Amino acid sequence: MYQEAWKRMLEANHIVIVSHVHPDGDTLGSALALYDVLTRVGKKVTHYNTNNELPRVYDFLPGFAKTKHVLPKTFDLVVSCDCSTRDRLKLPKGDYEIINIDHHITNRYFGQMNLVVDRFTSAGMVVYELLKANEIEISKECAICLYTAIADDTGFFLYGDMDALTFSIVSHLVKCGANPQEIASKVKRREPLSKIRLYGYMLNHFDLHENGTIATIIFDKAALESTGAKRHDTKNIINMLRSIVNVTSAIMILEEKEGGYKVSLRSKDINVSQIALEYQGGGHKTAAGFEVPSCDPTVLRDEIVAKIKRITEV
Amino acid sequence: MYQEAWKRMLEANHIVIVSHVHPDGDTLGSALALYDVLTRVGKKVTHYNTNNELPRVYDFLPGFAKTKHVLPKTFDLVVSCDCSTRDRLKLPKGDYEIINIDHHITNRYFGQMNLVVDRFTSAGMVVYELLKANEIEISKECAICLYTAIADDTGFFLYGDMDALTFSIVSHLVKCGANPQEIASKVKRREPLSKIRLYGYMLNHFDLHENGTIATIIFDKAALESTGAKRHDTKNIINMLRSIVNVTSAIMILEEKEGGYKVSLRSKDINVSQIALEYQGGGHKTAAGFEVPSCDPTVLRDEIVAKIKRITEV
């Protein structure tokens, strides 16, 4: 399958590599690694992302600045990276040929070819295996992209089912020129002051329920405004509440600018995805989420706390 | 050297393995890995640590509960792990034979044998190489100890000069049974509530200087009391201030129970160890510290800020 996919890429005239909406390090790293490799072999390639503003912490990735936010007029192959459903690519309708490279267990197999390996912790690992299977040399630039992809999707080796293969790939990427400390510094040590202030707000306003086993925080519009934080500054900050010793699950409720609320659920081992499903959301066992229209956020919070309590008691 | 050291251990009648004062994951993991291996080959071994209370987050390490805080009456070999000076072993004076296993560049070579590899990011890597050189099989228990040692000393792969060897060793340890996610969960997701509240205090009381390039926080006794935090809860929390995008260095000043202040300096690339040296302290380029007797902490802070400013302007 890896050979076939590579052959198809070499045959294409103009390849559009697509990273998903609200991109993270895995989708960008995987896409830009492929961008590096394919331009090196002389292919015409465009990296497309629908968001005009990409997260700045990934600006060190080779090729980052060449990302296009408008599709080229013609192209004959789409390669999708780290995307489980076609709608998150934000491509206009059309009869594209798609190679779908992903690792989500929920992947919909929307491509003509689907390189989906759900035991991998990141799409970056799939791209690595694709290159290895075709004996493609990994440049320093490509190694930086793939290291970032693999590290980012595990919170830098904290979450997910990392196995011996994960680390042997990482070891090889470091040999090829990826600098772990430099990459960590770029991704993890460039927090905006607004995000730090949002942490401060959270740590002074969170609540504990059920004997301190459930932690909750509500961010209304005013909270975000008072700290200067943007919506993406809320990303992952709930993990700090989950890290408290007696806390088994944490809930973040975020008031959206355009109305309604976004809810993030995290647990240590309770299956919170089943709660998300009840609200037409989704996710993984220990990290899930959903969106709801306008409501009283404290009522919503108490409702979710009760649901978690019920699961815990089973 | 690795062969000789192992031979000497096999010849000894009773080996005392020592981890250093205020132990971290590297010293405990290295010591307990050796403890596992040597007891398996039938040696009489004691793991000794001077502190009666070990950090609870390492309680999952196999052998942790067997740690002794009193030395056995007789023993004929000491193996020191992750310790740069003899005084941090807290051994009574005596003519012990010592095998000194370490990775600090400042190691004083106080042993009769010194297995000091300063290009390694952790003592755990030295222990691994010792086992490998002697073709010792790595049990699951040993792998858990060594994974923790290596991960902990790099802040779980964020700091230090991690190279391809680091990750290839880690890959092998995972193959031998270390579970990266479980270990991260034990070490990183059991924060006491007091530490979370101390973070909250810090994020609501820190100051910025020099156009936001220097972040400072003073913890007086009242701050610790108001949050319920203990001294060891302050460990590493200053890293969060250093992670702010424009911050190049961060200063934490902590009032000690017994009087005086402990100062921690962190930077992104400025050499703060030279400032620590001026106050008879020490450390590394980007992480250093020192202690001072009673003083006005705000005066001290302004003094250090001025010194950092001077270095930055050079």
Quote the ipTM score: 0.91
Q: Domain ranges in chain B?
A: 2-188, 193-313
Does A180 contact chain B (CB < 8 Å)?
Answer: yes
Architecture per CATH, B193-313: Roll (3.10)
Instruction: Using an 8 Å CB-CB cutoff, list chain B residues near A171.
Output: 164-168, 170-171
Asked whether the predicted pLDDT for residue B283 surpasses 80, the reply is no
How close is the nearest chain B Cα to the Cα of A188, in Å?
A: 7
pLDDT for B25-51, tens place per residue? 999 999 999 999 999 999 999 999 999
* pLDDT single digits (tens) A156-213: 999 888 999 999 999 999 999 999 999 999 999 999 999 999 999 999 999 999 999 9
pLDDT in tens, B166-219: 999 999 999 999 999 999 999 999 999 999 999 999 999 999 999 999 999 999
What is the per-residue pLDDT for A161?
A: 86
Smallest Cβ distance to B167: which of A174, A191, A212? A174
Interchain contact A203–B (C-beta under 8 A): yes
Give the residue-averaged pLDDT of B253-260.
92
The CATH T-level fold of domain B2-188 is inorganic pyrophosphatase (n-terminal core) (3.90.1640)
For chain B, the first-to-last Cα distance in angstroms comes to 44
Say whether B164 and A184 touch across the interface (CB within 8 A).
no
- Among B48, B14, B43, CA closest to B31: B48
Asked whether the predicted pLDDT for residue A283 surpasses 80, the reply is no
Subunit contact A181:B161, Cβ cutoff 8 A: yes
Q: What's chain A's average pLDDT?
A: 94
Q: Yes or no: say if B45 and B81 are a contact pair by the CB < 8 Å rule.
A: no
Residues paired with B215 in a beta bridge: B208, B250
Band (pLDDT 50/70/90 cuts) for residue B65 is very high
Residue A299 has what pLDDT? Answer: 97
Topology at the third CATH level for domain A197-313: Diaminopimelate Epimerase; Chain A, domain 1 (3.10.310)
* B156 contacts A243? CB cut-off 8 A: no
Average pLDDT over residues A110-132: 96
- Tell me which residue has tokens 């010591």: B31
Chain A CB contacts of B151 below 8 Å: 157
Q: Please list, in sequence order, all residues whose beta carbon lies within 8 angstroms of the beta carbon of residue A34, skipping any fewer than 6 positions away.
A: A17, A45, A79, A81, A101, A127
> How far is residue B49's CA from residue B16's CA, in Å, rounded to a whole number?
10
pLDDT of residue A12: 97
Q: How far is B186 from chain A (nearest CA, A)?
A: 9
Could you read off the pLDDT of B291-310 as tens digits, one per residue? 999 899 999 999 999 999 99
Using CB atoms, which residue from A160, A180, A188 is nearest to B243? A188
Distance CA B206, CA B238 (A): 10
| A105 has a chain B CB within 8 A of its CB | no
Tell me what the mean pLDDT of segment B146-167 comes to.
94
Q: Which residues contact A306 (CB under 8 A, 6 or more apart)?
A: none
- Residue B154 and residue B122 in contact, taking contact as beta carbons nearer than 8 Å: yes
Cα-based angle B102, B108, B112 (whole degrees, multiple of 5)? 75
Tell me if chain B has a CB within 8 Å of the CB of A242.
yes
Topology match between the domains A2-188 and A197-313:
no
